[in-house]
Structure 1
């Protein structure tokens, strides 16, 4: 696990700038609400949530009761009960979204794009599932059918996240591509799910981005620069990143009880990966 002090300092520096601006932008209402001060600050709540995804624990309740309440008692002397902390988790959703954008890497001109499934339940329990009713959908990948969402992500050649987006499972991989690549430049490599001449032409003309997708078997081979052909063969880099997000950062499990906590879990897993000191890289330098 990484240093807790370093993680807290980075999160707290962000919250000191973001939190006052966030409260100024909130819409006011005629009703008067009671704003009670919490024993844990927003930066402490975010630090605990992110630290869970950097640990070896697979159950947040065990992590909080054993690690936070026992071993980290000096670091969090005013830690509340587990039930109260779970009730506070949805309030950190907006700050986590902003903090993830702050953790994105820089575009280097060589990027990789892919999408992966985020299952919310087993296929046999789709009919009984109620938590994501109206949000999740059935989708199909190269492995098979699933029920849940799709996580679309773009990384650079150093394994750093550049942009992510989540959609229902039945959305085509090519639909969010324009939004994902809006602020990027250079060449983007994808698999055969991104084959589209109209999409590639639009990205080239409007955003000056060259989308290079692996051709399908029934398509004619086209001439490529040997540099592009070499980098296209290294597309397994983004598969390695996805594997680490699911197995190390734990962005996927089927124990969610609310959509808000699902988003918090996903965002914290992505942020934990961004803080990872050693990421998969092509080492082109």
Structure 2
């Protein structure tokens, strides 16, 4: 029974490393490497999906730094109306926009999220290819996130 439920929820998606079948984990972290928000979607949901971005950043205020995959004018405007400025690097075919030096320097620190995801995969063991049930997959994922929150040393930009 569980395998059919999992099979109907997972989807084929594409990442920067190629095609995959499964789910995507979305994380929001602060400057100290602490996880502020986490959820996952089927693999075929785009990063710049309006519903995904509102769910991910909806209750935050201030600045959010993201990669190019999160560029979405409607979502950025919606988030700005709620008090969050989404700052991303530009794609090759986009016009330049003016950034403050502080924002430009912080935008270069987006590798911090890669460090956090690497720690979650290697130290907290959240990456597993053959879960027996969707409940087991969720428990494994959230147990790894909880274990990460108890680590003494987290990557930070300070």
- TM-score strictly above 0.5: yes
Matches within 5 A, 1:13-32: none
Residue 172 of structure 1, CA deviation: 1.1
CA distance in 2, matches of 1:203, 1:185: 9
**Per residue, is there more strand in 1 or in 2?**
2
The alignment status of 1:274 with 2:149, answered yes or no, reads yes
2:42 counterpart residue number: 168
1:244 counterpart residue number: 119
TM-score by length of 2: 0.93
Residue 130 of structure 1, CA deviation: 5.6
Tell me how large the CA RMSD over aligned residues is.
1.3
The alignment status of 1:255 with 2:130, answered yes or no, reads yes
1:158 counterpart residue number: 32
Question: Of the two, which has the highest radius of gyration?
Answer: 1
The alignment status of 1:182 with 2:66, answered yes or no, reads no
1:149 counterpart residue number: 23
TM-score by length of 1: 0.53
The alignment status of 1:196 with 2:72, answered yes or no, reads yes
Q: Secondary structure at the match of 1:132?
A: helix
The alignment status of 1:220 with 2:95, answered yes or no, reads yes
CA distance in 2, matches of 1:213, 1:194: 7
The alignment status of 1:230 with 2:105, answered yes or no, reads yes
Contact 1:192 1:216 (8 Å CA) reproduced: yes
Q: Secondary structure at the match of 1:245?
A: helix
Segments of 4+ moved more than 3 angstroms = none
Cα deviation, 1:181-232, whole Å, max 9, x if unaligned, reads: 1221110000110111221111111x11000111101111111000000000
Cα deviation, 1:132-151, whole Å, max 9, x if unaligned, reads: 21010000001100000010
Cα distance, 1:231–1:244 mapped onto 2, change above 3 Å = same
